[in-house]
Homo-oligomer: A and B are copies of this chain.
Amino acid sequence: MIPLINRIGQYINIDSNAFEDIEGIAHRIETRQSGQDIVTIDETVDFVFFIETGWAIRYRILDDGRRQIINFMLPGDCFDLMSLNRAKSDHSVAAASEVVLRRVKSDDFLKTVARKPQLATAFWWAAIQEEAILREQIIRIGRRTAKERLGHLILELYRRQAAASGVYDNYLALPIPQALFADALGLSIVHVSRTLTLLRKDGLLRVTNRGIEILDRDRLTLVCDFDSRYLKVKKLSI
């Protein structure tokens, strides 16, 4: 729950019962192993999901096996908020690492949100941020070089992870293989590896066991033209 509370706290001032309001919605906790689908393409979705731990991906497989990852979902993220009207999904969602998630029936979610305007506001902002992340992904893979793409994505994931965990230590724990970066950035695995080496040799980051340490965040931000504003949304004090 802590990541979700941190996330929601970005948008509203959490009062004493916001926690219980969310916790109180009927839900089911599920665990998925890395690679397992959470939502399958063509499925009619009438659930809202919250990631508790682990990373998930939205993706699509093309006819000949090419895969494009649309975006990553981290602890604290909620998704398919937009699909409160039983739309058929045009893509799949899968666990990228082992994932624990909270599944809520759309109707139950709606009922709670209708009674709690601050929650409605917070989730509305969350949906707006999700859309901003999609736009940024388009800009990233459309007009940026491999180096910029990779650094930019690392910075995004770091910021999102930090915002949800509350820990700002310039370290991004990576529960996924580099192949997922490749499929997210429209690059080959080989080139992701090479590009990561470049960033390492530039002294911008250090690749550890299962994570990335950002050594010079200011310079990396500059090199990748990263502007974090798209991740921030004005906090309201309703």
Contact = CB atoms under 8 A, between A and B. Distances in A.
Interface string A71-114: 10000000000110111101100000000000000000000000
Interface in A28-71: 58, 60, 62-63, 66-71
A225 interface: yes
A128 interface: yes
Interface residues of A, number: 45
B124 A85 contact: yes
A125 B83 CA distance: 9
Given A131-B134, A137-B138, A186 B70 contact: no
Copies in the assembly, this chain: 2
A157 interface: no
B142 A234 contact: no
Contact of A234 (B87, B124, B136): B87
A230 B82 CA distance: 14
